[in-house]
Structure 1
Amino acid sequence: MPFGLTGRALARMQTALIVAPAFILFGYNQAGLGGLLTEDDWVKTFPEIDTVHSKGAEKSQKSTIQGLVVAVFVIGALFGSLSCSWSGNAFGRRNVIFFAAICTLIGEILEASSFGVAQFIVGRIIIGAGVGQLSSIVPVWLSETSGAKNRGQTVVVSRRAPVTWRPPIAIAIFFSLVLMASIYMFPESPRWLVMKGRVEEARPLVAMLRGHAVDSLEVSSEIAGIEYSLEETSHSAVKLTDMLKMGEDKLAYRFGLCILLQFYQQMSGSNLISVYATILFQNNLHLGSELARVLSGGALTWKFLASFIAFFTIDRFGRRALFIISGAGMACCMVSLAITTSFPRRTEAP
């Protein structure tokens, strides 16, 4: 029994030590690079992606390489997330989370110690692979260890030296270590244990997670429900080709909806702001380097804090309402950003 906790208290500890670090790693490693792209020692260390001291065709070429360096993180995340469709069932949820944390740790060390673009790209890919696995397997593990009632709630310095960019990248190492140190303190997914025929191991875990006695009716009912669900799934296993057909379960519709939601999330401009906010403030609005970073940090801090709104509203108002409200809000923000950054720079009369 981890920390001597059961029920809701254990669920809160899971969120604090596993879920929060996992998704902080995603956001931090994805967006944290944006504030460093114009930093003096950064462009000195990586002249191949220096868009500050270049112009014309040279700047265009370096911008392309810079975009590649930023984007390889997502490529690594793609392959990492896809691998979980096999590894999650083969090795268990906790083992995959631990391995993903190791990947992020190795990648962060490579990034923070980089003296060349090639090493930095390798680090970005490895971090992406780890983060992709975390983004896929942590919600599965959490949903399988959470009660149905709260499932939606739970699944949701200025110096010219290396110290200006290496420590900020290395900060993420802390969250990787938290994951590695904490994951085996928590129970494995009861569903995975039942799937592997280890029902007697799953029973006390369900009791602990729900805060009931091992021989209680609630625990027996949940175990029976898991067994029934797995039995139904084994008799009607879904193939990839079945997901492209409608049928009674409308699998094509559901599959397309998942793809479109992820696509629109990425294309809404949120990642653009997260990664390039500093450059927008500095180059488009012609703000000072330090002020641009302060404003960028403020924007990302607000983005982090705003994510907790869904925690308190998702089970009350439902997923669809939150999608509509957040989508409309994002559209207004992007319209405002496009308008305000399009004004020509005002110069004072001589």
Structure 2
Amino acid sequence: MTSSKFLWGLRGSSLTLAQLALIVCPSYVLFGYNQSNLGGLVSLSDWIALFPRIDTHTTSGAQKSDNATVQGVVIACFTLGALPGCLSCSYTSDKFGRRPVIFVGAVLTLIGQILEASAFHLAQLVVGRTILGVGVGMLSGTVPTWQSECSSSKNRGKHVVLDGLFISLGYALQAWINLGFYQFETGPVTWRPPVALPCFLSLVLMASIFFMPESPRWLARENRVSEAQDCLSALKGSPIDSPEVTSEIVSIEASLEQTANHAGSLLDLFSMGEGRLLYRFSICILLQFYQQMAGGNLISVYSTVIFQQGLDLDAQTSRILSGGTLTWKLLSCFVSFFTIDRLGRRSFPRSNYAAQIVSVLFIFLFNFFLPVGFLGANFLYTTEVAPTRLRVAMSSISTANHWLWFVESFCYIHSTNQS
């Protein structure tokens, strides 16, 4: 017996591809695109005229320093929203299921992007960016768990490493789209369309998520075993009564029964018993900390600013180089895609042309090595080392730690605009 209740009756690998294309890809492109898009817009003439309070391009002295602080806060509002959004998933994802949380996250990203794209006052921009951050935080805290629980152990590594690839795709898309609309030179067309375009991805998420399977493990946990069987049958492309589906259900139920005798509590994360939970939790937290402190988001968000203001290159060249380095970052993600399941500032004179070339080269090199181990694999590792009863809590808290270190990018824009 089979079921065709999911999108277009897709089953097996076709359904998995649909999950990747319609849920995982939009979620993480929204992540990368919205995290980095404002960094390429802050020097545009129409942007400066509309938001003079965050102008660091035509100001100097104390005014520039003050504006830099405000600019850093405005851009960081995305991350400040993502932090509680992600943390909330440790409760909402287990309470309501993975799909409703993803849907609400998509709705919030749509509202945030509409507010951003239609902003005529700085306050509206801040509110929109914060709401957008909450939505992306909810997606980043839930999608990896849902994806992992719907993937076979054989392909789980590749599937989750795709998260990093899709984040990098968002970085690259915003850079090239910003460059394209920069050719208009003046007017709101230079920035409003690039900010509004990802609304399409939010709509794709909202329209698709309830046509996808719910996490079989969550369904079984809620005593909805027949639905869990239906989802597993579709995901595996096997009949509901097949030995493959039956054995998986038995395995899930046994795991849930075992964990029921050891009810999960957040305090368990700080215990060092047989499961060494504190050790596992510390690794998950440190992975996200190291990933942020390596400076990856700084380059992704401020690459145009680095080339234009830091290296004194012209605006067009800076945007082209930004698109190039972020595309290179995207291509570098394929290294970890093929290996994850097999292996485990100093100032200089701006007239120094050779130093400019070397700086550009090293930015490209950095964007090669970062995705290999720090842009996808860290999300996978968290879901795999966590015990079943604490998987959502450990994943959402460690991913929230990723958002906590927005201070890295904030300090850059503040310090480099001091006089």
Question: Do these two structures clear the TM 0.5 threshold for a shared fold by scoring above it?
Answer: yes
Does residue 205 in structure 1 map to residue 231 in structure 2? yes
- CA distance in 1 between counterparts of 2:220 and 2:352 reads 70
Once the 2 structures are TM-superposed, how far is the Cα of residue 28 of structure 1 from its aligned partner? 0.3
Pairing partner for 1:38 from 36, 39, 43: 43
Once the 2 structures are TM-superposed, how far is the Cα of residue 307 of structure 1 from its aligned partner? 2.4
Residue of structure 2 in register with 1:301 after alignment: 327
User: What SS is found at the alignment partner of 1:258?
Assistant: helix
- CA distance in 1 between counterparts of 2:142 and 2:285 reads 18
Residue of structure 2 in register with 1:275 after alignment: 301
Once the 2 structures are TM-superposed, how far is the Cα of residue 306 of structure 1 from its aligned partner? 2.3
Pairing partner for 1:344 from 342, 349, 357: 349
How far does the alpha carbon of each residue in 1:98-156 deviate from its partner, in whole angstroms, 9 at most, with x for none?
11000000000000011111111111111111101101111111111111111111112
How far does the alpha carbon of each residue in 1:170-209 deviate from its partner, in whole angstroms, 9 at most, with x for none?
1111111111111112111111111111101111221110
- CA distance in 1 between counterparts of 2:128 and 2:287 reads 28
Change (3 A) 1:313 1:3: farther
Does residue 225 in structure 1 map to residue 270 in structure 2? no
Pairing partner for 1:7 from 12, 15, 39: 12
User: What SS is found at the alignment partner of 2:154?
Assistant: helix
Pairing partner for 2:342 from 316, 337, 350: 316
Residue of structure 1 in register with 2:395 after alignment: none
* Backbone CA RMSD of aligned residues: 1.5
Q: Structure 2: which amino acid aligns with 1:34?
A: G
Pairing partner for 1:105 from 107, 110, 115: 110
Does residue 122 in structure 1 map to residue 148 in structure 2? no
**After the TM superposition, which residues 220-259 of structure 1 pair with which residues of structure 2 at under 5 Å, given as runs?**
220-259=246-285
- CA distance in 1 between counterparts of 2:277 and 2:330 reads 33
Greater Cα offset, 171-180 or 104-113 = 171-180
Change (3 A) 1:283 1:216: same
Residue of structure 2 in register with 1:147 after alignment: 152
Greater Cα offset, 104-113 or 200-209 = 200-209
Aligned residue-pair number = 327
- CA distance in 2 between counterparts of 1:308 and 1:37 reads 31
- CA distance in 2 between counterparts of 1:34 and 1:248 reads 46
Q: Structure 1: which amino acid aligns with 2:272?
A: M
Pairing partner for 2:70 from 46, 65, 73: 65
Once the 2 structures are TM-superposed, how far is the Cα of residue 19 of structure 1 from its aligned partner? 0.4
Unpaired segments ≥5 residues, structure 1: 319-337
- CA distance in 2 between counterparts of 1:65 and 1:304 reads 30
Does residue 215 in structure 1 map to residue 241 in structure 2? yes
- CA distance in 1 between counterparts of 2:138 and 2:242 reads 35
Residue of structure 2 in register with 1:80 after alignment: 85
How far does the alpha carbon of each residue in 1:199-236 deviate from its partner, in whole angstroms, 9 at most, with x for none?
01111221110111111111111001111111122211
Q: Structure 1: which amino acid aligns with 2:149?
A: E
Pairing partner for 1:94 from 91, 96, 99: 99
Instruction: Provide TM-score, normalisation by structure 1.
Output: 0.90
Pairing partner for 1:193 from 219, 224, 228: 219
- CA distance in 2 between counterparts of 1:99 and 1:240 reads 24
- CA distance in 2 between counterparts of 1:305 and 1:20 reads 16
Pairing partner for 1:25 from 25, 30, 49: 30
Pairing partner for 1:262 from 285, 288, 304: 288
- CA distance in 2 between counterparts of 1:125 and 1:138 reads 20
- CA distance in 2 between counterparts of 1:15 and 1:311 reads 14
Greater Cα offset, 278-287 or 240-249 = 240-249
Fraction of identical pairs, as percent: 56
- CA distance in 1 between counterparts of 2:64 and 2:10 reads 56
User: What SS is found at the alignment partner of 1:315?
Assistant: coil
- CA distance in 2 between counterparts of 1:224 and 1:11 reads 22
Q: Structure 2: which amino acid aligns with 1:41?
A: D
User: What SS is found at the alignment partner of 1:262?
Assistant: helix
Instruction: Provide TM-score, normalisation by structure 2.
Output: 0.76
- CA distance in 1 between counterparts of 2:186 and 2:228 reads 55
**After the TM superposition, which residues 325-336 of structure 1 pair with which residues of structure 2 at under 5 Å, given as runs?**
none
The structure whose RCO (Cα within 8 Å, separation 6+) is larger is 2
Does residue 137 in structure 1 map to residue 142 in structure 2? yes
How far does the alpha carbon of each residue in 1:276-313 deviate from its partner, in whole angstroms, 9 at most, with x for none?
11111111211111111111122222223322332222
Once the 2 structures are TM-superposed, how far is the Cα of residue 22 of structure 1 from its aligned partner? 0.4
The runs of at least 4 aligned residues of structure 1 exceeding 6 Å deviation read none
Once the 2 structures are TM-superposed, how far is the Cα of residue 345 of structure 1 from its aligned partner? 2.1
How far does the alpha carbon of each residue in 1:234-288 deviate from its partner, in whole angstroms, 9 at most, with x for none?
2112322222221111111111111111111111111111111111111121111
Q: Structure 2: which amino acid aligns with 1:266?
A: Q
Once the 2 structures are TM-superposed, how far is the Cα of residue 78 of structure 1 from its aligned partner? 0.8
Once the 2 structures are TM-superposed, how far is the Cα of residue 347 of structure 1 from its aligned partner? 8.4
